[in-house]
Chains A and B, each alone.
Chain A
Amino acid sequence: MSAATTEPTLATRAEQPLPSRRRTGSLGWHLGALLILAVILYPVVWVIGASFKPSKDIINSLQLVPSHPILSNFKGLADGIADISIWTFFQNSLFYAVGAVVGVLISCSLTAYAFARIRFAGRNLLFSLMIGTLLLPYHVLLIPQYVMFQKLGWINTYTPLLIGKYLATEAFFVFLMVQFMRNLPRELDEAARLDGCGHFRIYWSIVLPLCRPALITSAIFTFINAWNDFMGPLIYLNEPGKYTVSLGLMMFRDSDGVAANYGGMIAMSLVALLPVLLFFLAFQRYLIDGMATSGLKG
Chain B
Amino acid sequence: MGPAVTLVKDSPPAARKPRSAVSATTGRRPGRRRENLAGYLFMSPWIAGFLLLTAGPMAASLYFAFTDYNLFNTPKWVGFDNFTKMFHDPRWQKSVEVTAKYVVIGTPLKLLLALGVAMLLAQSRRGQAFYRAAFYAPSLIGASVSVGFVWRSLFSDGAIVDRTQSVFGWHVGGWVGNADWVLYCLVALTVWQFGAPMVIFLAGLKQVPRELYEAAEMDGAGPLRRFWNITLPMISPVLFFNVLLETIHSFQIFGSAYVVSNGTCGPADATLVYTCYLYEQGFKNAQMGFAAAMAWMLLLAVALVTAVLFWSQKKWVHYEEGAR
Contact = CB atoms under 8 A, between A and B. Distances in A.
Q: Do A and B come from one complex?
A: yes
Contact of B262 (A116, A147, A253): A253
A199 B5 contact: no
A21 B3 CA distance: 27
Q: Which of under 10, 10 to 19, 20 to 34, or 35 or more describes the interface residues of B?
A: 35 or more
B50 A280 contact: no
Specify which of A14, A111, A114, A298 lies most central, judged by the most chain B CB atoms within 10 Å of its CB: A298
Interface string B144-169: 11110111011011111001000000
Nearest to B60: A144
B86 interface: no
Specify which of A60, A139, A167, A178 lies most central, judged by the most chain B CB atoms within 10 Å of its CB: A139
A59 B120 contact: no
B138 interface: yes
Interface stretch (A80-88, A94-102, A120-128): A120-128
Nearest to B203: A292
B104 interface: no
Interface stretch (B88-96, B179-187, B226-234, B295-303): B295-303
A11 B203 contact: yes
A141 interface: yes
Interface in A100-147: 106-107, 110-111, 113-121, 123-124, 126-133, 135-147
Interface of B: 1-8, 10-15, 17, 20-22, 30, 35-36, 38-40, 42-43, 45-50, 52-54, 56-58, 60-61, 64, 71, 117, 120-127, 131-138, 140-141, 143-147, 149-151, 153-154, 156-160, 163, 192, 195-196, 199-200, 202-204, 206-207, 210, 237-238, 241-242, 244, 248, 251-252, 254-255, 258-259, 262-264, 275, 278-279, 282-283, 288, 291-292, 295-296, 298-299, 302, 306, 323-324
24 contacts: A16-B206, A29-B120, A33-B120, A36-B135, A43-B154, A46-B154, A59-B157, A114-B43, A118-B39, A127-B12, A131-B5, A133-B54, A139-B252, A140-B296, A141-B58, A167-B52, A186-B17, A190-B20, A231-B254, A249-B145, A266-B149, A272-B146, A284-B137, A295-B242
